[in-house]
Chains A and B, each alone.
Chain A
Amino acid sequence: MDPTIIMQMILAGVLGAILYTIIGIAPGTDETAVLAPVTIALALLGLSPHVILAFFISAIVAKKLTDSIPVAIAGIPGGVMAAPMVEHAMVLKQHGLPDVSIRKMASGSVIGTLVSLPVSLLIAYLILPVADTVAEYAGLIFTLGAIFLALLTRNKILSLAIIVPFAMLIMGLRHLYWGLGIVPEDTNVFVSFFLGITIGPIAFTLFELLNKKMRKNMPRVGYKEIDMRKTGKEKGFPNPFKILTKKESITSAIGSLFGTITFFLTPVGMTVFWGELITRHIKDPVQRASRAISTMDGLTNATYIAGTLIPLIAIGLPLSPMAIGPAAGLFNAPPVFTPEHNIHHLLSIGEIMTATIIGAAIALAITFFITIKFSTQICAVVFKYIPHEALIGLFAGLVVMLAYMDAGVMNIFGTILVALVAGLLYRNGVNYGVMFMVLYAAPWMLGLF
């Protein structure tokens, strides 16, 4: 491979790692919202596919390593994916062990990355011969996924009941856009609906604030009190395998393996499901919490990498929640990448793996080191200088802009509609996973009728 390209990949990896170390720590940042637009932008800038892939992989690994830091230090999830870990991290915080939390989580992430890289490659090879058939049954797979995830939520009946109506909302809007000639008939508006679901709960709350009565009744709070604990100093370069106990390493690896295999299901759902299943039997709360966070962190990291790599190597279509969400830019960033002409088609398997390994290695080296050494300092800076309002604003700005990009002014309102429905459902116990799956399954599902 050309040494200039390798240098560019390394540079992209470093940039991705630094940028997403900071973004990862900021509370409430959603993976899709912060990763997809930037990846799409890089693709549209005409950078080489190697560089884009290295940047993306480095960014997800870094983001994943750092979004659990605020969980450990302050009990605030740094991202949607870190939310399932809050409960366990709080147990460790209460026992005065936030630095243990961070080290365990970061080490779990490292294991997740190490496990999922080779296993993803293996699964991709296994799928390769049947890739065309899998692509044909994608609709069925997503529909079954939605039903499966609906059965895992706390409001099973509602979750099952909304599958078809929610698909109708999505397809209804798409047909409306086609009918009005806003987008061509072969274009499925996707990114903005996806983001609409993601911001659903927050949009719902914001609209409630417009209601004077609701505003009056909303519980008022003061400044958020955050007790931070100085973490102990770590000497030398940290070794993840020494930080985790043998059992923790093993469950992290097993969790990562499951996460890699279930790459086509939604990461949050899988994290909760496997994470709880693997640690349910442990009695001691501290041991259980520390086993749970290392396992969950490994698992989410693994589903992220597998969800990106497997469809990218084997199929070239975004056939996993990860691929269709945060990694969407690698598959579809028209006019540069299209489903028929994207990184899958442009790079060989060897090239994909090289870019991935460079990106992952750089992010692990830089971010793991920073995470273990300076977690408290970085957290303090982010908490002190970055207002939550600005983050919500930025997020809202990106969603509105992407909605406009997808299908014009009309789609800004369409996305608000999707967001409000999603928010209402979320409030009533339907989780994101079900709605995302329905979004993917909608065209096939409604084609049945």
Chain B
Amino acid sequence: MEGDNKERGNLVEIWEDNVDIKDLLIAMIFCVGFSLGGYVVAFGETPPLIFGLGGGVIGFIISSILIKPKRKLTMLKEGEE
């Protein structure tokens, strides 16, 4: 298969939805990195867990911006099948 074939045939289904393996890897690196990183570098009186959760959210937001959802939405009008 060649280059621009994301539309069909390049994705795998994981947990009820379709993902691109490369994008998944990117998202995992960002999310795991930021949450674990946040927990480890935590400072001050704030519990490290807060840093970890915050890191997870940051990782999630970054990957949401970088990665396009692999879903094709079609709106059906009433009565259509």
CB-based nearest A residue for B80: A229
- B-contacting residues, A337-390, CB 8 Å: 380, 383-390
CB-based nearest B residue for A27: B17
A439 to B16, CA, bound (A): 26
Whole-angstrom distance from the CB of B3 to the nearest CB of chain A? 15
Q: Which of A41, A77, A218, A226 contacts B53 (CB 8 A)?
A: A41
Known: A44-B50, A209-B21, A397-B36. A223 touches B70 (CB 8 A): yes
CB-based nearest A residue for B29: A393
CB-based nearest A residue for B28: A393
**Chain B residues, Cβ within 8 Å of A401:** 32, 35-36, 38-39, 52, 55-56
The answer, yes or no, to whether A37 is at the interface (CB within 8 Å) is: yes
The answer, yes or no, to whether A392 is at the interface (CB within 8 Å) is: yes
CB-based nearest B residue for A335: B47
Asked whether A383 lies within 8 Å of B16 as measured between CB atoms, the reply is no
> Interface 1/0s, chain A 38-53, versus B by CB < 8 A?
1011001100000000
Whole-angstrom distance from the CB of A239 to the nearest CB of chain B? 23
Asked whether A383 lies within 8 Å of B73 as measured between CB atoms, the reply is yes
Known: A38-B53, A389-B63. A232 touches B78 (CB 8 A): yes
Whole-angstrom distance from the CB of B26 to the nearest CB of chain A? 7
> Interface 1/0s, chain B 3-18, versus A by CB < 8 A?
0001111111111111
| Interchain pairs with CB closer than 8 A, number | 190
The answer, yes or no, to whether A227 is at the interface (CB within 8 Å) is: yes
**Chain B residues, Cβ within 8 Å of A394:** 27, 31, 56-57, 59-60
Chain A contact residue count (CB 8 A cutoff) = 52
Asked whether B78 lies within 8 Å of A404 as measured between CB atoms, the reply is no
- B-contacting residues, A20-38, CB 8 Å: 27-28, 37-38
**Chain A residues, Cβ within 8 Å of B20:** 389
- B-contacting residues, A204-257, CB 8 Å: 205-206, 209, 215, 218-230, 232
**Chain B residues, Cβ within 8 Å of A391:** 60
Whole-angstrom distance from the CB of A100 to the nearest CB of chain B? 13
**Chain A residues, Cβ within 8 Å of B73:** 226, 228, 380, 383-384
Known: A222-B9, A386-B69, A387-B63. A397 touches B34 (CB 8 A): yes
Asked whether B49 lies within 8 Å of A40 as measured between CB atoms, the reply is yes
The answer, yes or no, to whether A96 is at the interface (CB within 8 Å) is: yes
**Chain A residues, Cβ within 8 Å of B34:** 397
**Chain A residues, Cβ within 8 Å of B28:** 392-393, 396-397
Main secondary structure of the interface of A (DSSP, over half): helix
Whole-angstrom distance from the CB of A440 to the nearest CB of chain B? 24
Whole-angstrom distance from the CB of B11 to the nearest CB of chain A? 5
**Chain B residues, Cβ within 8 Å of A44:** 47, 49-50
**Chain A residues, Cβ within 8 Å of B78:** 229-230, 232
A232 to B78, CA, bound (A): 8
**Chain A residues, Cβ within 8 Å of B11:** 220-223
CB-based nearest A residue for B67: A387
**Chain A residues, Cβ within 8 Å of B47:** 41, 44-45
Known: A228-B76, A229-B76, A405-B39. A392 touches B12 (CB 8 A): no
Asked whether A230 lies within 8 Å of B75 as measured between CB atoms, the reply is yes
Asked whether B23 lies within 8 Å of A389 as measured between CB atoms, the reply is yes
The answer, yes or no, to whether A313 is at the interface (CB within 8 Å) is: no
**Chain B residues, Cβ within 8 Å of A41:** 47, 49-50, 53
Asked whether B17 lies within 8 Å of A388 as measured between CB atoms, the reply is yes
Whole-angstrom distance from the CB of A78 to the nearest CB of chain B? 10
A residues with CB within 8 A of B: 27-28, 37-38, 40-41, 44-45, 76-77, 96, 201-202, 205-206, 209, 215, 218-230, 232, 380, 383-398, 400-401, 404-405
A-B contact pairs, 12 of them (CB 8 A): A206-B24, A222-B8, A223-B8, A228-B76, A229-B78, A229-B80, A383-B69, A383-B71, A384-B69, A387-B63, A390-B63, A404-B36
| Given pairs A396-B28, A397-B28, 8 additional interface contacts (CB within 8 A) | A206-B14, A223-B11, A229-B78, A383-B71, A392-B15, A392-B28, A393-B30, A398-B56
Q: Which 10 A-B pairs have the closest CB atoms?
A: A393-B27, A222-B8, A397-B31, A393-B31, A397-B35, A390-B63, A389-B27, A388-B17, A387-B67, A394-B60
